[in-house]
Structure 1
Amino acid sequence: MNTIIITDSTCDLTLEYVQENADMLDIIGMPVNIEGYEYFDDFGKTLSHDEFYSKLRLGIMPSTAQINTFRFSEIFKKHYQKGKSIIYIGFTSGMSGTFNNAVMAAEELIKEHPDADITVIDTLSASIGQGVLVVEAVDMLRNGKSKEEIVRWVEDNKLKSNHWFAVDDLNFLKKGGRISAATAVVGTALNIKPILTVDNSGKLVSYTNVRGRKKSIRFLAEKFHEHIRNCSVTTVIIGHGDCLEDAYMLKEYILEECMPKKLIVSQLSATIASHVGPNMIAVAFVGDDREVK
């Protein structure tokens, strides 16, 4: 059987990357609701990134929902009927029930069709940290690796997917319940920029606070250089919340000391950006084991 890799829109890859690899990669969009309008996140095709971020900057707070079992069943059936073996590389179970819905849909399809070959992987990763695992898996598939080899690599390396995020607008963390209103007010007054990461249970956690935007971007680069291994054979993704100039600044800091195999600069799509707001800047890569405080 030929293999297809499926992931969800929380991977925050670029639309160009998804389209260029459509022969090996399929995406299922997370539901996003903004001002009463619900759509499936499709990397800016339905609602452009420009329009979406304009709404965020006006203070509009979108909401997101899980991908339900019906939609997983539909995409799994589609590829089963094409004779495909399926690898679903999913959004962390530490932040959403989406992964459990994928498990149930896969079990239902296998019960109905025992010859169905479906593997679902909880990446314990999010956003571009999930994205780097997907990119490496697609590269392996394109280079002729078997489904078993790809699954083994993702499972062996998912806790080496390093995520480092610098948040600019504290009000979105406040609205999402991650910090108190008082903390947001004081932090904004002091120009505090929280640094977030993802722990081994796949949850978004606070790591430290840095004062000033440029210092926070430099901090991300320092964490990259501290934790990267074998840079020349590694994919690096820089994610940004509609702040391309800052993303290029981070790119320059990264390239000061090493040249990755592949470096992708990606604008965060609606799902993740709904929770962290505009101007978030992030870097993700497969390096050494995640730093746990």
Structure 2
Amino acid sequence: MFSVNDTNFNSAVFLLSGIPGLEDIHLWISIPFCFIYVISIVGNSVILFIIKTNPSLHEPMYIFLSMLAITDLALSISTMPTTLGIFLLNSREISLDACLAQLFFIHLLKCIESSVLLLMAFDRFIAIYDPLRYASILTLPRISKMGLIFALRGVAAILPLPFLLQRFRFCRSNVLSHCYCINQDVMKLACSDIKVNSIYGLSLSLLTVGLDSLLIFLSYVMILKTVLSITSHAECLRALNTCVSHLCAVLLFYTPMTGLSVIHRLGEDSSPLLKILLGYIYMLVPPLMNPIVYMKSKHLRARIIRVFVK
């Protein structure tokens, strides 16, 4: 293991981590990882194809779902080269510039995915609270504007991260905790004061993902209040059933993200294996499970079956 002591920060090289202690069987471990990436990419691509080719699915709910699928697809592609490079080729080295580029895209896509989940919560609230005006409120131009605003918010919020890290010299151990680069992991390797980065990273989390999760929670409080006012038990269950897939997606996204953030900020004495495991769950599980979760939609499932059973 080599160090980057006293080197210019532009030439710093980091070592990504696979699963420490299991290096001898990394090739075998690569098989499930390849399987996960194939399912994630194929699953999200199929959802995009089905929604694009079926005009009957050009509704707000499915447009938001296609946004989620695009984000998950991009997230899988952004982490696949380094993850499979470690397990298939034992290629652990990554330059500072490549690391910062990957870091930017990972955090940007996670921020955008959080925004899309918020938009989907708003979609479910409108559909249940005011179904007669649902189509007139969530028009295609309005959806496009909301998507663009949240994408620009993500770029504006995440863009400073690589520049804040690039000003550092990295003179400590150059071994990262994961098989990809994230802000919390990289900044701990700097030999300079990282207080500004820590404050900015925490503020960023609270004002993007934290705010989104709070608004999603409030949306579901309003949804529950509306559903409980429905006198018909069958109608009440039908309304709640439309939210199940979205709730699963929210839990799959926010639970590992919160756990990993807490461990990086507060759990210095926590098990390294737990940090690594949460890192894989945080990055691989949402793109893998979201297509499976949304197959629950009767209309979407029927059209997928129709395509592949022709």
Question: TM-score band (shorter)?
Answer: 0.3 to 0.5
Give the structure, 1 or 2, with the largest relative contact order (CA under 8 Å, sep 6 or more). Answer: 2
The alignment's TM-score, normalised by the length of structure 1, stands at: 0.33
Largest Rg, 1 or 2: 2
Q: Hey, which of these two has a bigger chunk of strand by percent?
A: 1
Q: Hey, which of these two has a bigger chunk of helix by percent?
A: 2
The alignment's TM-score, normalised by the length of structure 2, stands at: 0.32
